[in-house]
Amino acid sequence: MFKRPHILVFLAPAVIIYTLVMILPLFGTLRLALFRGDGFVGLANFQTLFGDPRWSAAFWNALGNNLWFFIVHMLVQNPIGIALAALLSSNRLRGAAFYRTAIFIPTILSFVVVGFAWKLILSPLWGIAPNMLDAVGLKSLFAPWLGREGSALTTLALISVWQFVGIPMMLIYAAMISIPDEVIEAAEIDGITGWSQFRRIKLPLILPAIGIISVLTFVGNFNAFDLIYVSQGALAGPNYATDILGTFMFRTFFGFQLQLGDPNMGATIASVMFVIILAGVCLYLFGIHRRLRRYQF
């Protein structure tokens, strides 16, 4: 390597920036979690986080909310994405490019736009949502969903689903159009069409892609922050009902209103998030990814 200095020159900028700005701070954060002020305290911060009733209540609340946020994505976003991809990839469908482009539009918008636009639409003040429900005779169903403890988190999760459904749609679509025509034709000759063709031929072939979108959803959800911050503020109201790990870490690290910022506890929460995300990714890589047979054509 040293006889060929150009290798170093090619690698150096990427490796240096990546190491300095990403890897070292990641370890720096894990290290900070073991300190209080300047003193090394071992796992005391974690003991506080899990043991102190005030901290642990907030933590489990955020973790539980985050889990629900993820479950809604898995149950709503990914099935809708798969269904849309299946429709788009049915052969001889005209206008597939138009639908694809249009359905992907929310994904490119910023959380600020998405969070606020939905806040306006769901606002009882403006009345778009109640009036539309009124038009189909369901006005009684309307409630200020974002303002109620029981429904705020699910509403936000569904808004996020609305925004990101384009990603599973695209990835599954890519997997579906790479299934060779012969396979589909053979199925059709055997009289396997429509739903049973999807379930018995296509679904097994797109399982690896479903694995990928699941892990992407997991990492994205357990790292989410922006949408909640934009629509509910750093306090993740009402009464912390929409608090997830990202907002919890932000509030702890920076402080908010009367609460002072605490970098060590912020780092402690970030470390727990790191462990959760790493566990999810490892579970995928070693548990699921390996077991899925990859079909090579």
Q: Which of residues 89-148 bind other proteins (CB under 8 A)?
A: 90, 92-93, 95, 97, 99-106, 108-114, 116-118, 120-121, 126-128, 131
Helix (H) or strand (E) holding 11: helix 5-18
**Residue 280 Cβ vs other proteins, minimum distance, rounded to whole Å:** 9
Q: Among residue numbers 17 through 56, which ones bind other proteins (CB under 8 A)? A: 17-18, 20-29, 32
**Residue 43 Cβ vs other proteins, minimum distance, rounded to whole Å:** 17
Angle at CA of residue 237, ends 30 and 124, nearest 5°:
145
- CA-based nearest residue to 93, from 105, 104, 84: 84
Can you state the angle between helices 166-177 and 152-164, rounded to 10 degrees?
Answer: 40
Site size toward other proteins, by CB under 8 A: 88
According to CB under 8 A, which one of 75, 124, 178, 293 is a site residue for other proteins? 178
Q: Quickly tell me which residue has 């077991």 as its tokens.
A: 291
Measured CA to CA, the distance from residue 195 to residue 250 in angstroms comes to 46
The answer to the question of residue 286 lying near other proteins (CB under 8 A) is no
Q: Which is nearer to other proteins, 71 or 105 (CB)?
A: 105
Residue 171, sorted as left (phi over 0), alpha (psi -120 to 50) or beta, turns out to be alpha
Residue type, 181: D
According to CB under 8 A, which one of 164, 229, 240, 248 is a site residue for other proteins? 229
Q: Among residue numbers 243 through 282, which ones bind other proteins (CB under 8 A)? A: 246, 253-254, 263, 266-267, 270-271, 273-274, 277-278, 281
